[in-house]
């Protein structure tokens, strides 16, 4: 569901920027980020309340259910961050700022997630450590794309002129 807002963001931002309306693209983007964050919060709250039920819909294995119980709060509480991060992904894709997205994702993965995953393995944190790494990855990506969004450097409007 959160990706649906991101996909809409691609279309809305691309269309607005193509029409030369940077301010309209920015205003629509602010609304999309707000809606996606709110939807993420609702999804997270609902899933948090269903923590005993949802994993059982997929498995009856006691070991898997035990692991799910440990990571479930992390999974649920990261949904608002996911909402904002996914919306920003869609906005920047719509603005054709994909090079920035690629570089920031690789930097976040190599600089944050991979070290936490390795530490998780070395220190015996298990699946909780891996999920902590995923939260850190999303937080760093959100910070990077948020700064990029606020800078408005992504707002290339209209059709480029040819010589």
Phi-psi region of 105 (alpha: psi -120 to 50; beta: other; left: phi over 0): alpha
Q: What is the sign of the dihedral through the CA atoms of 71, 54, 2 and 105?
A: positive
Confirm whether 163 is domain-assigned. Answer: no
For residue 25, being part of any structural domain is answered with yes
pLDDT in tens for each of the 163 residues of the chain? 888 889 998 999 999 999 999 999 999 999 999 999 999 999 999 999 999 999 999 999 999 999 999 999 999 999 999 999 999 999 999 999 999 999 999 999 999 999 999 999 999 999 999 999 999 999 999 999 999 999 999 998 866 555 5
Domain residues for the domain of 29 are 2-151
Neighbours of 43 (CB within 10 A): 17
Q: Give domain status of residue 161, yes or no.
A: no
* Per-residue pLDDT at 3: 85
Phi, psi of 80 (to 5 degrees): -60, -40
Residues 6+ apart with CB under 8 A from 122: none
**pLDDT value at position 49?**
95
Q: Which pLDDT belongs to residue 160?
A: 58
- pLDDT for 1: 80
* pTM of this structure: 0.89
- In a domain, residue 162? The reply is no
What lies within 8 Å, CB to CB, of 113 at 6+ separation is: 133, 134, 136, 137
Residue 47 domain flag: yes
Question: Is residue 51, in this structure, part of any structural domain at all?
Answer: yes
On whether residue 157 sits in a domain, the answer given is no
3-state secondary structure the chain: CHHHHHHHHHHHHHHHHHCCCHHHHHHHHHHHHHHHHHHHHHHHHHHHHCCCCHHHHHCCCHHHHHHHHHHHHHHHHCHHHHHHHHHHHHHHHHCCCHHHHHHHHHHHHHHHHHHHHHHHHHHCCHHHHHHHHHHHHHHHHHHHHHHHHHHCCCCCCCCCCCC
Tell whether 59 is covered by a domain. Answer: yes
The number of distinct structural domains making up the chain is: 1
């Amino acid at each position: 569901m959160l990706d649906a807002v991101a996909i809409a963001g691609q279309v809305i931002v691309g269309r607005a920027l193509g029409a030369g309306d940077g301010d309209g693209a920015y205003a629509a983007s602010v609304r999309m980020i707000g809606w996606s964050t709110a939807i993420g919060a609702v999804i997270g709250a609902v899933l948090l309340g269903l923590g005993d039920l949802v994993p059982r819909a997929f498995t009856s294995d006691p070991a898997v259910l035990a692991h799910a119980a440990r990571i479930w709060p992390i999974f649920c509480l990261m949904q608002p961050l996911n909402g904002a991060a996914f919306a920003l992904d869609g906005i920047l894709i719509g603005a054709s700022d994909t090079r920035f997205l690629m570089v920031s994702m690789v930097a976040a993965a190599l600089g944050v997630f991979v070290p936490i995953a390795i530490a998780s393995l070395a220190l015996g944190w298990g699946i909780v450590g891996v999920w902590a790494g995923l939260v850190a990855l999303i937080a760093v990506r959100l910070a990077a794309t948020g700064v990029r969004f606020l800078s408005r450097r992504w707002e290339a409007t209209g059709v480029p002129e040819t010589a």
